[in-house]
A and B are shown apart, each in its own frame.
Chain A
């Protein structure tokens, strides 16, 4: 029965892959996870060979398990709290154990666990030492964390008999003791790898039996992000943006990481990043792709949000605020990826910040101008011949980027960056001045 359940679950999941955009996104995420896992493997080898100071191999391996633990647990509350799902109704003719097991398995047959599993395997392929213990313990951590999350959620989502809360306390206490015992060592886990997940599985079963009544209707609205997360929802629930944004950010991350890896191996000039290779790396270090893919034509992606602001509040400043809020989350992600890739290899962090922030300022404020002056109707995430933004805006942004990396190669960035900042400011000023006139064109061209 459970085998058939997994089969149906997988079939249902794969049947959602009919859309070429979704398939492309999954392939892309697989490549992205794979590359980051390969990088982890390479870094592990370098640390093992004592090429990096400040971190021991044991600590590095532990950090890998901690990442799995953290991400698996955070999934419950990111971006907002996801309550337990009741897979089968109470009257369904199935034993309590099978009902519970199906619910546990349902939680495991998800893209997230597929990607984690794949990443673990890739790390093992690229890591030269400690492969099997890393894989087995990683799997143990992944399974145990998911079961721990379920245990915690029983106490959050339901009213339980005292035994249910008691079991949770025991689970947490045992995990704290185990965690503190192994926090300083990567000694091969033995029986714990079986006993801990089995214990958690069993505790969960008895917690489920201790549930009193129905799932609480008033679920906690806790979320990691403050407010109602409108802007995150506007991004993640937008069918076009949720394909293009991960592609833009991931593509940039892969290219940047790949180039840095290649040049580190073959180019002694990388520390200064001043050779021809440096030009490519600095071009990729900006969030240019986000704007070329999407944000230079932002209102074509969120026409309803724009029109609501225009209809109910009106005025350029409210529209600008909306645009900045829609930009904030992708830009923060892009910033974290860029900085985490650049800082370990490039000493002058002040220069990196000026370069990134200055050009981002230009891109953000120029996008306000382009979105208003050169809107293009976007029907699908991938518009083969037309592109997602106007050709003119793409050419101007590319020329601005090309000039900047040339300026970088001759070392005049500090002199020229103010010009970029002023150019961005002029873009906003022009947009503000023409907004009342241009908004009708926006409605007409986007056919809102």
Chain B
């Protein structure tokens, strides 16, 4: 599970996150929503120990992020904001390299690479293509494959649907639905409400450095009375400036 306590982070004295308290339990699909620059990526980077908090702490599977051992990290899968791909390798070599880091036995690894590629990629030749030649959508798919190849208990995904065509995004949704289990956690930050709706059991809304909403999907939509985007706008309260002021358009 994922747990943050009074998590605070600022860049050059500008607070980005202030006292974030979050609890995501096993079996949950948690979607973190928020405007651009709300701090979603910063929060994920703090969870993944790619950033050091100013104060507070992040715990994953009961351990502080900074104290996670190699064995702990084998239970954690992630797609960070920039996807962390190794562009010098081809898709196959990259997944094989990642599989070796996670100590997956050779035959199991081979099967999983074949299965994942078969599911997400139409052309088997893409497997042997250098990652630097991939489109952004292909990179996103590959990063996702690398995050799930070791079937982690905790899956943290930063904007997994951005840049994907609707077909692949739906494939990813189907995969995540099948992946959801009582002993697993899926934590997703996203703007794509239509996709989030299909996998999230819980919603968090970040705005102005604070967690403005943190509850179940039912609470968020008032038991289905509101659409997801309407519910989000209700929390984020867009600025009052009127379109009529833009008389030069």
Chain A interface residues toward B at CB < 8 A: 228, 230, 233-234, 237-238, 302, 304-305, 307-315, 318, 436, 440, 443, 448
Contact = CB atoms under 8 A, between A and B. Distances in A.
Contacts of B96: 228, 230
Contacts of A436: 66
A191 B48 CA distance: 71
Contacts of B89: 230, 233-234, 237
Given A233-B93, A307-B84, A440-B52, A314 B70 contact: yes
B80 A233 contact: no
Given A308-B101, A309-B101, A312-B101, A234 B50 contact: no
B86 A313 contact: no
B68 A314 contact: yes
A32 B36 CA distance: 53
A237 B130 contact: yes
Given A228-B93, A233-B93, A304-B84, A312 B50 contact: no
Contact of A234 (B52, B85, B88): B88
Given A311-B84, A312-B73, A315-B69, A230 B97 contact: yes
Given A230-B89, A440-B52, A315 B84 contact: no
B70 A315 contact: yes
Interface string B11-41: 0000000000000000000000000000000
Contacts of B85: 304
A446 to B, nearest CB: 12
Contact of B98 (A302, A308, A440): A308
Contacts of A302: 88
**B interface bracket (residues with beta carbon within 8 Å of A):** 20 to 34
Contacts, number: 65
B87 interface: yes
A59 B179 CA distance: 67
B205 interface: no
Interface string B59-80: 0000000101110010000101
A139 to B, nearest CB: 35
A230 B97 CA distance: 7
A233 B88 contact: yes
A233 B49 CA distance: 28
Given A230-B97, A304-B85, A307-B50, 8 more contacts: A228-B96, A234-B86, A237-B87, A304-B84, A305-B86, A308-B84, A312-B102, A443-B50
13 contacts: A230-B89, A230-B93, A230-B97, A233-B93, A237-B89, A238-B88, A305-B86, A308-B86, A311-B84, A312-B101, A312-B102, A313-B101, A315-B70
A392 to B, nearest CB: 24
B70 A237 contact: no
A228 B97 CA distance: 9
A237 B88 CA distance: 5
Contact of A440 (B51, B70, B78): B51
B101 A314 contact: no
B97 to A, nearest CB: 5
Nearest to B92: A228
Contacts of B102: 312
A244 to B, nearest CB: 14
A269 to B, nearest CB: 46
A311 B50 contact: yes
A302 B97 CA distance: 15
A309 to B, nearest CB: 7
A237 B86 CA distance: 10
Q: Would you list the 7 A-B pairs with minimal beta carbon distance, nearest first? A: A237-B88, A304-B86, A312-B101, A440-B52, A234-B88, A313-B70, A313-B101
Interface centre among A233, A315, A318, A448, by most chain B C-beta atoms within 10 angstroms, is A233
Query: Which among A237, A302, A318, A440 has the highest number of chain B CB atoms within 10 Å?
Result: A237
A308 B149 CA distance: 14
Given A308-B101, A440-B52, A443-B50, A313 B87 contact: no
B127 to A, nearest CB: 12
Contacts of B50: 307, 310-311, 440, 443
Nearest to B132: A237
Contacts of A308: 84, 86, 97-98, 101
Contacts of A312: 73, 98, 101-102
A309 B73 CA distance: 10
B152 to A, nearest CB: 10
A234 B69 CA distance: 26
A314 B85 CA distance: 16
Interface string B236-248: 0000000000000
Contacts of B73: 311-314
Contacts of B88: 233-234, 237-238, 302, 304-305
Nearest to B90: A233
Nearest to A437: B52
Nearest to A448: B82
A234 B132 CA distance: 12
Looking at A304, A310, A312, A313, which has the most chain B CB atoms within 10 Å of its CB? A312
A448 B48 CA distance: 14
A8 B80 CA distance: 44
A77 B132 CA distance: 24
A234 B50 CA distance: 23
B85 to A, nearest CB: 6
A321 to B, nearest CB: 11
Nearest to A229: B93
Contacts of A318: 70, 101
A315 B74 CA distance: 13
Contacts of A307: 50, 84
Interface string B81-111: 0101111110001001110011000000000
A138 B31 CA distance: 68
> Most chain-A Cβ atoms within 10 A of its Cβ — which of B49, B82, B84?
B84
Contacts of A304: 84-88
Contacts of A313: 70, 73, 101
B101 to A, nearest CB: 5
A304 B69 CA distance: 20
Contacts of B93: 228, 230, 233
A314 B66 CA distance: 10
Nearest to A315: B70
